[in-house]
Amino acid sequence: MRRLALAFALVLAPALSARADPVAAYLDAWRETYPSRATAAGDYRHDDRLEVLDDDARQRWIDLNRQTLARVEAEIAGAPADARRLDLELLSRQARQELMEWQDEDQARNDPLFWAGLLAQANLHLFLRQDRPVAVRMGFVLERTRQIPRLVDTALAALAGADTAAVVPERATEAAGRLQALAGFYRDRLATGAGDDAALATQLAVAGQAAADAIERLAQRAGELGAAGKADFRLGERYGERFAVVNGLSTPVPEVLAQAYADLAAKREEAAAFGRGLWPQWLPEEPAPVDDVAVLRRLFAQVEARRPSSTAELVAQFKADADAAFAFVRERDLMTLPEPRTLVVDVAPAWLGGQSVGGVYPAGPWSPEAETLFLLPNVPDDAPQAAKDRFYAAFNEGFNRMISPHELVPGHYVQAKIAARLPHPVRSLYGDGVYVEGWGSFAERLFLDLGWGGPHERLAHYKNQLENIARLIADIEVHTGGWDEARLGRFLAGEAVLDAQFAANLWKRAMLTSPQLTTYHLGYRDIHALWLEWRRRHPERPIREFVDGMTALGSVPVAEYRRALLRPE
């Protein structure tokens, strides 16, 4: 009966009543449509099932997003109170993004990454988030795993109608690789989650094998589309619309690009000036080069030389730095910490894509006290030495310590947990990416200015800022300026003082995640400017007021925080 009831609910969910609150109705439909995302957000009512996304279900979701967008835009036009307006504006952006992906691009038919992402997330939180008994969590994992062949069949049916002129070969090829890794997880590792329960382990092994076989069929189809696809991944004329919708900004893209080039030149000069001050201490036997790029390249190499040499060392440093960051906040009374601490530091599973998916996986608005997973990018300990050297040069000790405020406190872990506790789920689920990444990037600078770390951490931060500005420039130039990988590499080496490994990763991210790359510097620039103005107006007030104020509204645009913090008294 439960399965029949759920199926009936799926049919009805996208019908948006004219009298229903569009926000509440959308949240209900979103959880029905994306049960694996509902699990991640703390709603465990649908843990025993996977997405149902056949042709009819996809059309219902498109219709719901159209209806929602019309209702929301109409209500916004009526000038609702600010708290309501913020929720409506974020929901409007969410619905527009869903329509771009599901309707305009028809990703379900033309992009295997659409399905690879769903499958990778299917059991992620159930498998890794240990906030419920193993038997409970893994029982649901078993249920979902048994449904993977059905979801794969749906994916294959959709992709059978792919238009090769609309298939981006790079995205399809990436999907094939991710799916192969995911199949390996289901075949080789799924049963280990059962612990000492031998009977459950046997069931998981059987279901995992069937899931792996199905996923490999999908990987084969993705590979075929990778060979046949003819579409250019560059957004071209569509870039401006996507940039505006995703980032919630109306500034013309050429203006954003021109400012970014100016910011890069200024940051390079600032970083080099700081580096020259260190040169006599760090390299007393070498004369400092005249060229700023040469100065920074030499000093960045010094920073990268101090690095972990294994996954165990990497994890140990991040755990120690997390403890130190929380202590740093308490000692200086920098903010009101959301207690209890529910942070788990671990490595990103290879089946998620390894290095590309490290980051904070927060608890959501329906279980805000659930575990937050901080999954670290990593390289296998048995990888070739050259690969490990490149990885640990990037994740050096100075960078790792510097980035902890960005990822944890007062950055993503804290801001996400505070947002999840608010009575506004959309600000947690569909939050403003420019604010989210901007706040993390600002947190690095704030901590350093208050005494967190030393010269190595400061230089690592300068390098990260150059990377963030370069990400913004690269995303725009690749998609609208026709840059190829070689042109990107020349820019990064010559103007941004960045290496070939970063260039390769950035090229891949520009192909796959645009315009997310633009959010880091856009947010940092606006939040840093807001901080300077707030400090000018309130030089005697404790920093705690600013930090608490900058997380109080949830993940909303920086402009809303500016209005809240700089309002006349």
What pLDDT does residue 354 have?
A: 40
What pLDDT does residue 260 have?
A: 98
Of the candidates 481, 483, 328, 343, the one whose C-alpha atom is nearest the C-alpha of residue 402 is 328
> pLDDT-derived band of residue 102, with 50, 70 and 90 as boundaries?
very high
Mean pLDDT value across residues 360-369: 95
What pLDDT does residue 33 have?
A: 97
What pLDDT does residue 4 have?
A: 37
What tens digit of pLDDT does each residue of 382-417 get?
A: 999 999 999 999 999 999 999 999 999 999 999 999
What pLDDT does residue 227 have?
A: 98
What pLDDT does residue 499 have?
A: 86
pLDDT higher than threshold 80 for residue 201: yes
What pLDDT does residue 500 have?
A: 83
**What residue ranges do the domains of the chain occupy?**
2-234, 253-565
- The full DSSP string for 19-68 is TS-HHHHHHHHHHHH-HHHHHHTT--TTTT-----SHHHHHHHHHHHHHH
What tens digit of pLDDT does each residue of 335-362 get?
A: 999 999 999 999 988 766 543 467 999 9
| Gap between the Cα atoms of 472 and 506, Å rounded | 10
Handedness of CA 256, 262, 266, 272 (dihedral sign): positive
What pLDDT does residue 357 have?
A: 62
pLDDT higher than threshold 80 for residue 315: yes
- The full DSSP string for 456-520 is HHHHHHHHHHHHHHHHHHHHHHHHHS---HHHHHHHHHHTS---HHHHHHHHHHHHHHTTGGGHH
CB count, 10 Å around CB of 211? 28
What pLDDT does residue 19 have?
A: 67
pLDDT higher than threshold 90 for residue 182: yes
- Indicate the DSSP class of residue 104: I
List CB contacts of 554: < 8 A, sequence separation 6 or more. Answer: 418, 419, 422, 424, 427, 428, 431
Q: Using omega within 30 degrees of 0 as the cis cutoff, is the peptide bond preceding 423 cis?
A: no
pLDDT higher than threshold 50 for residue 547: yes
pLDDT higher than threshold 90 for residue 432: yes
Mean pLDDT value across residues 408-433: 97
Percent of the chain past pLDDT 90, that is, above it, reads 91
For the ranges 106-120, 133-147, 173-187, 356-370, the lowest mean pLDDT is seen at: 356-370
Percent of the chain past pLDDT 70, that is, above it, reads 95
Average model confidence (pLDDT) for the chain?
A: 94
pLDDT higher than threshold 50 for residue 7: no
What pLDDT does residue 350 have?
A: 72
The phi-psi region of residue 286 (left if phi > 0; otherwise alpha if psi is between -120 and 50; otherwise beta) is: beta
CA dist 418 to 105, 187, 252, 368, 550, Å? 34, 38, 32, 8, 11
What pLDDT does residue 349 have?
A: 80
pLDDT higher than threshold 50 for residue 149: yes
pLDDT higher than threshold 80 for residue 5: no
What tens digit of pLDDT does each residue of 222-242 get?
A: 999 999 999 999 999 999 999
